[in-house]
Structure 1
Amino acid sequence: MKEIEIKLPKMGESIEEGTIISWSVAEGDEVEQDQTILEVATDKVDSEVPAPANGTITQILVQPDEVVKVGQVIAKMEVGEIQSSKNKATPKTLEKETSKKTAPKAVKKPVSTSNSNSSSSYQINSNQNTFFSPLVVSIAKQHHISFEELARIPATGNEGRLRKSDIFKYLEEGRPAQFAQPVPEASGFQVPNLKLDKGKGKIVEMDRMRQMIADHMVFSKHTSPHVTAYVEADLTDMVNWRNANKKAFQEKYGEKLTFTPLFVEAVAKAVKDFPMINVSVDGKNIIVKEAINIGMATALPSGNLIVPVVKNADQKDLQTVAAEVNALAEKARNNKLKHDETSGSTFTISNVGTFGSLMGTPIINQPEVAILATGIIKKRAEVMEYEDGDKIEIRQMMYLSLSFDHRVVDGFLGGSFLRRVADYFEDFDVEKTF
């Protein structure tokens, strides 16, 4: 028998770390090769990590909610044939074991509540729990937050631990404890403790994905100054063409023809026309992306949203885009999406019309700089201009809204891009073949 190390495997391109969700085994359990031993969360997708060989788990080195790097040793096992099923791993067997373990090593620093250069008398009591996860430390470094300041941020995690959402909320509030004093001054500004009446009712705890979405949305609003522009588009030609061809399209390719691939196709063309909408911000630098990868916000059975991605959408024909859109949507409905299928987007479309909304004000999917919302397609009487005079006709109309990051996208670029998308929708080729 020999002991080997189990390391967190690479779970997708550009993925450098993951959060431990739960172990399916405990120390002393016998496992078979490829048997799932734990679940790991990366962004919005959960992944299962299999055992690398037959053997016995001898040591578990990381605990649930810890953030670990790809390649980091997470457990150890003795390799060999399984002798019996007596200690074979079953889900939840770790429950009793974890209570006996000591807390994992954490980043700890002495916390000081004094600052002789402080200009504010705002006071927050220091947190007793100075466990700072690697993710929290990373965010603190990005925003130049000291360990002393971290200790002053109100924590809502288990056992008083500081969560990512706590830091983002604190940043959104303007870092009120940045220069906190150990003892409140008799005079000076005091941040009021507003004891708001939140009402009474059933308490529903957010699931892990909802917490991650909340953190991501708060981070986006904090990072990007959002501006939203609107246009209206006449989709009559597109709607009529789709209605006339969807049956033949499905018979020929075995794929449903929804509006989404038509939207993706048009948006990819517009992005190609305006490459500065296809960028991300890195400090003082702007990264202009080479690929045009269109994300499409999709609802999961739980009601949460996820963004599967059509890679290189500008290089694919309609039937290929339709097949990918249908496959990704089906995987989303069955919670089968892989991390690579939800990463790498450079621009996102959110079809709020699916829920009957007339229009929306979408929040940018970081690190992108713009997101398009498409509203419901609705029949309406419109005045149409012709050479022989104006006429009132029933047209298929839709509102488009574009939220963009005003740090790098000004009104001219944002408005011009949005108008170009609407033009592609309106100037749909009714002679289009497939």
Structure 2
Amino acid sequence: MSSYELKMPKMGESITEGTIINWLLAEGDSFQEGDIILEVATDKVDNEVPAPAAGTLVKTMFQAKDVVPVGEVLAILEVSEDVKTSEKKDVTLSAVEASKVKKKDTKRPKPVQKVSTSTSFSTANTNTFFSPLIIKIAKEHHISFEELARIPATGHEGRLRKSDVFNYIEEGRPYKFAQAVTQDPTAYRIPQLQFDKGKGKVIEMDRMRQMIADHMVYSKHTSPHVTAYVEADLTNMVNWRNANKVAFQEKYGERLTFTPLFVEAVAKAVKDFPNINASVDGNNIIVKEDINIGMATALPSGNLIVPVVKNADTKDLKTIASTVNELANKARENKLAGDDIKGSTFTISNVGTFGSVMGTPIINQPEVAILALGIIKKRPEVITTEKGDEIAILSMMYLSLSFDHRVVDGFLGGSFVRRVADYFEQFDTNRKI
């Protein structure tokens, strides 16, 4: 028998350290060639470190959860004399080399099966240590620690494995909205329903659709959404735009759609209520200095993107129209650059474009509010004139503001959307282009 230093393996070109998940053998335990001695995690992979030959574990140099640099001695082994000289010299096993080593189950303990059959918000695994890889996967899928703690774990000593997390995601994340554990027997229990998803043509989501889905679920999970509604009389705005759109294009070479008029009015309302132009950072509210209005825009693929009119409050109507048209053209041609979709502080979504009367938009994180504009529709309304109440045909629109109730209360949200409607209704019909 000879002494052998088992070192932290190098598991990738950019990996400089690893975290010991757990030791599968204790000091004094014997093992066969290929038996797994310990499990190591990095932010990219969980790896099993095998024994290079039969022998005995003499001493461990680190404990579970310790972070160890690559090449550092993990343990001292006593191994049989027939270990190859090359193996003794190359004590830092790579992940590829490790995967080629023959594994035997003589000494490896069986994984702990801890699948919970309870439908309550009880903790499925009591081991709350999560490897860097598990934490990275959780961040990518916006899975909270509360939710991780409820995923059935099959690893050693109740450790959560990568396969456990992906199986949980495939099952539809039944504990997605898990709250703090409660011992109250009357607490609400989530039913474990097995839905028939039916048969039909299977269409795989493209990368953008996956990102949209992820962002929408994250937004609903992060922000308590409240929606306020008002209706506005756009008759003056509609009449002015119809009377001036041809002259506007002849003078400036730009189409005059309703979107620039909406952006202009919204930017003015944001200046009146600056706290709507904010984001949340932990317990802090960041009120933005710039007013950058995002415009939810449909791409030819059907996906959604939000190009941004930067500093909209400082631009005149001609400049806003030019910017809006340029961004819309880029979107249709799939030519939007990274800078075109960055920096939004408040978003509008013109659902009326698709014929919708109104909508309940989902907040574009990390903003705290989003405004949906419904279809402009002519309908009879009762108005008050010098002669009394009369019925007139007006161009009406519903506005709906979804806001984050963590930082925006009903007074601010309602006042803001009402101010936007006021700017629409008070449009100056004598305005010069």
TM-score, normalised by the number of residues in structure 1: 0.64
Specify the alignment match of 2:346 in structure 1: 347
Whether 2:177 is the aligned partner of 1:173: answer: yes
Specify the alignment match of 1:387 in structure 2: 386
Which digits, 9 at most, give the CA deviation of each residue in 1:390-425, with x for residues without a partner? 221111011000001111111111100011000000
Specify the alignment match of 1:412 in structure 2: 411
* Letter aligned with residue 132 of structure 1: L
Per-residue deviation at 1:268? 0.1
* Letter aligned with residue 299 of structure 1: A
The answer (yes or no) to whether the contact 1:308–1:342 under 8 Å persists in 2 is yes
CA–CA separation in structure 1 for the residues paired with 2:278 and 2:286:
5
The answer (yes or no) to whether the contact 2:225–2:402 under 8 Å persists in 1 is yes
Helix, strand or coil at the partner of 1:216: helix
Which digits, 9 at most, give the CA deviation of each residue in 1:140-179, with x for residues without a partner? 99944697767749xxxx9877499779946633169x89
Per-residue deviation at 1:212? 0.6
Q: Tell which deviates more after alignment, 256-265 or 133-142.
A: 133-142
Helix, strand or coil at the partner of 1:230: strand
Specify the alignment match of 2:235 in structure 1: 236
* Letter aligned with residue 282 of structure 1: D
Helix, strand or coil at the partner of 1:132: helix
Counterparts of residues 267-278 of structure 1 (less than 5 Å)? 267-278=266-277
Rate the CA distance shift 1:167–1:213 in 2: closer, same or farther, 3 A: farther
Counterparts of residues 352-371 of structure 1 (less than 5 Å)? 352-371=351-370
Per-residue deviation at 1:323? 0.4
Helix, strand or coil at the partner of 2:428: coil
Q: Considering only CA atoms, is the larger Rg found in Structure 1 or Structure 2?
A: 2
* Letter aligned with residue 270 of structure 2: V
CA–CA separation in structure 2 for the residues paired with 1:220 and 1:164:
20
CA–CA separation in structure 2 for the residues paired with 1:349 and 1:429:
22
Whether 2:221 is the aligned partner of 1:222: answer: yes
Rate the CA distance shift 1:245–1:132 in 2: closer, same or farther, 3 A: same
Rate the CA distance shift 1:264–1:194 in 2: closer, same or farther, 3 A: same
Helix, strand or coil at the partner of 2:339: helix
* Letter aligned with residue 380 of structure 2: A
Which digits, 9 at most, give the CA deviation of each residue in 1:50-98, with x for residues without a partner? xxxxxxxxxxxxx9xxxxxxxxxxxxxxxxxxxxxxxxxxxxxxxxxxx
Helix, strand or coil at the partner of 1:229: strand
Per-residue deviation at 1:132? 3.0
CA–CA separation in structure 2 for the residues paired with 1:323 and 1:247:
15
* Letter aligned with residue 401 of structure 1: S
Specify the alignment match of 2:246 in structure 1: 247
Specify the alignment match of 2:280 in structure 1: 281
CA–CA separation in structure 2 for the residues paired with 1:408 and 1:218:
20
Q: How many residues are treated as equivalent by the alignment?
A: 314
Rate the CA distance shift 1:192–1:428 in 2: closer, same or farther, 3 A: closer
The answer (yes or no) to whether the contact 2:153–2:164 under 8 Å persists in 1 is no
CA–CA separation in structure 2 for the residues paired with 1:269 and 1:163:
49
Per-residue deviation at 1:138? 4.1
Counterparts of residues 118-133 of structure 1 (less than 5 Å)? 123=124, 132=133
Rate the CA distance shift 1:408–1:175 in 2: closer, same or farther, 3 A: closer
CA–CA separation in structure 2 for the residues paired with 1:168 and 1:197:
13
Per-residue deviation at 1:266? 0.1
Counterparts of residues 66-105 of structure 1 (less than 5 Å)? none
* Letter aligned with residue 133 of structure 2: F
Specify the alignment match of 1:294 in structure 2: 293
Per-residue deviation at 1:139? 6.0
CA–CA separation in structure 2 for the residues paired with 1:120 and 1:225:
20
* Letter aligned with residue 176 of structure 2: E
Rate the CA distance shift 1:165–1:386 in 2: closer, same or farther, 3 A: farther
Rate the CA distance shift 1:354–1:151 in 2: closer, same or farther, 3 A: same
Counterparts of residues 14-53 of structure 1 (less than 5 Å)? none
The answer (yes or no) to whether the contact 2:280–2:366 under 8 Å persists in 1 is yes
The answer (yes or no) to whether the contact 2:223–2:404 under 8 Å persists in 1 is yes
The answer (yes or no) to whether the contact 1:379–1:396 under 8 Å persists in 2 is yes
* Letter aligned with residue 386 of structure 2: E
CA–CA separation in structure 2 for the residues paired with 1:102 and 1:351:
56
Specify the alignment match of 2:202 in structure 1: 203
* Letter aligned with residue 406 of structure 1: H
* Letter aligned with residue 252 of structure 1: K
Whether 2:140 is the aligned partner of 1:136: answer: no
Specify the alignment match of 1:52 in structure 2: none
CA–CA separation in structure 2 for the residues paired with 1:365 and 1:288:
16
Helix, strand or coil at the partner of 2:133: coil
CA–CA separation in structure 1 for the residues paired with 2:428 and 2:136:
49
Rate the CA distance shift 1:299–1:415 in 2: closer, same or farther, 3 A: same
CA–CA separation in structure 1 for the residues paired with 2:384 and 2:163:
67
The answer (yes or no) to whether the contact 2:383–2:389 under 8 Å persists in 1 is yes
Per-residue deviation at 1:262? 0.1
* Letter aligned with residue 286 of structure 2: I
Helix, strand or coil at the partner of 1:232: strand
TM-score, normalised by the number of residues in structure 2: 0.64
Rate the CA distance shift 1:120–1:297 in 2: closer, same or farther, 3 A: closer
Identity %: 65
Per-residue deviation at 1:293? 0.3
Rate the CA distance shift 1:398–1:191 in 2: closer, same or farther, 3 A: closer
Specify the alignment match of 1:261 in structure 2: 260
Gaps of 5+ in 1: 1-6, 8-62, 64-99, 104-110, 180-187
Whether 2:335 is the aligned partner of 1:336: answer: yes
Per-residue deviation at 1:270? 0.2
Helix, strand or coil at the partner of 1:372: strand
CA–CA separation in structure 1 for the residues paired with 2:404 and 2:171:
22
